[in-house]
Amino acid sequence: MFDVQAIRADFPILAHTVYDKPLVYLDNAATTQKPRQVVEKIESGYYNVNANIHRGVHFLSLAATEAHEEARRTVRRFLNARSSNEIVFTRGTTEAINLIASSFADECMSAGDEVIVSVMEHHSNIVPWQIEAARRGIALKVIPMDERGELRLDVYRSLFSERTRLVAVAHVSNVLGTINPVKEMIAIAHEHGVPVLIDGAQSVPHMKVDVQDLDAEFYVFSGHKVYGPTGIGVLYGKEEWLDRLPPYQGGGEMIASVSFEKTTFNELPFKFEAGTPDYIGSTALAEALRYVESIGMERIAAYEEELLRYATERMSAIEGIRVFGQAERKGAVLSFLVGNIHHYDMGMLLDRLGIAVRTGHHCAQPLMHALGIEGTVRASFSFYNTKEEIDALVAGVERVRKMF
């Protein structure tokens, strides 16, 4: 489908060895490796266009401002948002969800109001709502799942009441890989006049996302999971909603005028970007988005689906394996346990073979409770992974299984 070896050449770290073994990096759901293009963008940003942005009258400041705003336009195009005013740079998914939880609850929620989340949410789409629950007496309602790891839409429909103010769900589960039917879920919420926030941390790196087609009010993702740098992420919000919500943090840049008597706030999107933004990070994120676009989201999705199919087939043949997440539509994530082998033991022994996987609760403890387990081993794939690497994983797991 595409030349994987040529792509791998863009990612120097993939050529590393660990413990004298070739590195097999299968922890992409935690963070992805960075192509040369992105790292060079950071370097060239600091060497050639570094100056604090906005308000500057000098050459470098104007150039840095233009680069940051060009990055915003790239994100707008990538998500197919209507306007660049709808793109707010944050530190990542977590900060974007905290921003919405805080500002939305401020504007739209009072004691007794409800937020609907799902059982498979990452802690970063649970705890911010619990903080608001403790502050304001709002309640969380939880969409359960079936034994395949698909959300129960029949129960979801029954969770709405006249107190429901928001639905907040993950597009793709970071543990089960389930691709939730968010377009349908958004339409159901809209039938009740309820806005929706989608956690796109695990979807944006792997599939084409069109926020206008989905019709979500809010959509968030992290740069570091889509081949961009750490410390930068995106909040997309429909302009009428972002206009309505109060600022999250106060400081420079987010104001129109300040006096001790009265302060007025800046227009969108600056109202939500207090302080010096990560303008180097934003331009490197835009470079990462251009990089994945140059491969093509459809081709990425098709290749990763093929990797997942191959991995699932081969791993399922291992004696005593349990795979968690058997949804009809799945992202490139494979969570498993083998016999009674503790997930940490499996992870540590695979590491000695050069294979990087993640173990534990994956910041989804309520999901672990629902599954009746403490944790899993998770292999998660990227377009730079190969079938040979999956063979190495299978051989490694077999070897560990035989040791026990």
**Which residues of the shown chain bind ligand PMP in the complex (CB under 6 A)?**
92-94, 122, 124-125, 170, 174, 199, 201-202, 222, 363
Q: Which amino acid is at 349?
A: L
DSSP 3-state of 348: helix
Counting Cα atoms < 13 Å in the Cβ hemisphere of 55 gives 11
* Residue closer to ligand PMP, measured from CB, 224 or 271: 224
User: Nearer Cβ to ligand PMP, position 27 or 113?
Assistant: 27
Q: How far apart are the first and last CA of the chain?
A: 39
> Does residue 163 sit in helix, strand or coil?
coil
Would you say 235 or 400 has its CB closer to ligand PMP? 235
- Report in angstroms how near the CB of residue 380 gets to ligand PMP at its nearest: 9
The amino acid sitting at 272 is F
Q: Identify which of residues 94 and 164 has a Cβ nearer to ligand PMP in the complex.
A: 94
Buried b vs exposed e over 343-382: b needs ≥16 C-beta within 10 Å? bebbbebbbebbbbbbbbbbbbebbbeebeeebbbbbbbb
Largest interatomic CA distance in the chain: 73
Q: How far apart are CA 305 and CA 333, in angstroms?
A: 10
Min CB(93)–ligand PMP separation in Å: 4
CA distance 349 to 339: 15
Our CB check for ligand PMP shows the closer of 52 and 365 to be: 365
CB of 222 to ligand PMP, least distance (A): 3
CB of 101 to ligand PMP, least distance (A): 13
Pairing assessment for the beta strands 218-222 and 233-237 based on DSSP bridges: antiparallel
363 catalytic residue (yes or no): yes
The SS3 assignment for 203 reads coil
- In the complex, the smallest distance separating the C-beta of residue 199 from ligand PMP, rounded to whole angstroms, is 5
Q: Which of the residues 51, 60, 188, 363 is marked catalytic?
A: 363
CB count within 10 Å of CB 6 equals 8
Which are the catalytic amino acids?
A: 363
